[in-house]
Every structure is written in structure tokens, then in C-alpha cells.
Amino acid sequence: MQVAGDSDATIIVLRVRSGSDEVQRGAYVRKTRITIGRDAYTDIQLDDATVSRVHGVIYRKREGFSLHDRSSNGLRVNGHTAGAHLLRDGDVIEIGRYRVHVEVYADCESSFHDRAVAEGWTMDDARTICAG
């Protein structure tokens, strides 16, 4: 795994947990904007009254993945209140009763696509993960 600041770190995996249960996961290869919130149109939907319609947004930038708080309730990263945060592999975003675990992978991990498909992951561009 790579840190988000590495130039070849282009796949971000978000695993959403509520308590000890993983309730959602997604791998994002090409999206430049990933939304997290309560509304159905968000990329990561969190069903909790304390979560804003669009609670946070992750932007893909040259230096890595940048999380921005768009809520009035706030969010935390690794236990600290964060308005904006450059995400790194292993970070944990706390929103309402949910914990979003961040994994960042290099551009092409040969077994990543097959493993993700076998586990039933939601992916924004499944076949291009290792194209090239």
C-alpha cells in the first residue's frame, strides 16, 4: 500500500463500518470527487440523522486525496476534528455513528481487481484498475 501523497497512488478504497460490521465498501479509480452523506445521490451513503445530506467530499488532487467537511456537525479524522485533511493510508474518518477506513493503493496491483470483484466491491471503473 502507498500513502496518498505518492504520485502513483491512484486507487482509494473506503470501507464503512458501523460498530464492528462493515456495511459498505467502494474502490474509486477515476472519480475526482467522492461524496459522503445521507442523501441517496452521494457515493458513500450513511443512514444516520446526525449525518448531513452531503457531509464530506474527498477530492483527488495531484498531492493525494483531500477530505473536506461540508457539514454543520463536523467530522473527525483519527480522533481529531478536521475541516480539511490530506488522507493517508490507514486514516479513519468518523461521521456520525460510522467509521470510514481509508486504504490507498498504487496504480496497478495485479490481484486487486480480481479480489475486489470476488468480494463484491462497488467500483467506479472495474476493468481499468490494471489497464495500461
pLDDT tens for 81-94 read 999 999 999 999 99
* Distance between CA atoms of residues 91 and 58, nearest Å: 13
Neighbours of 109 (CB within 10 A): 16
Residue 1: its pLDDT value, please? Answer: 43
Assign 98 to helix, strand or coil.
Answer: strand
pLDDT tens for 7-33 read 344 788 899 999 999 999 888 877 899
pLDDT tens for 99-108 read 999 998 876 5
* Distance between CA atoms of residues 17 and 92, nearest Å: 10
In which element (H, E) is residue 112 found?
A: helix 112-118
Residue 127: its pLDDT value, please? Answer: 45
Instruction: Name the band, by pLDDT with cuts 50, 70 and 90, for residue 119.
Output: confident
pTM over 0.95: no
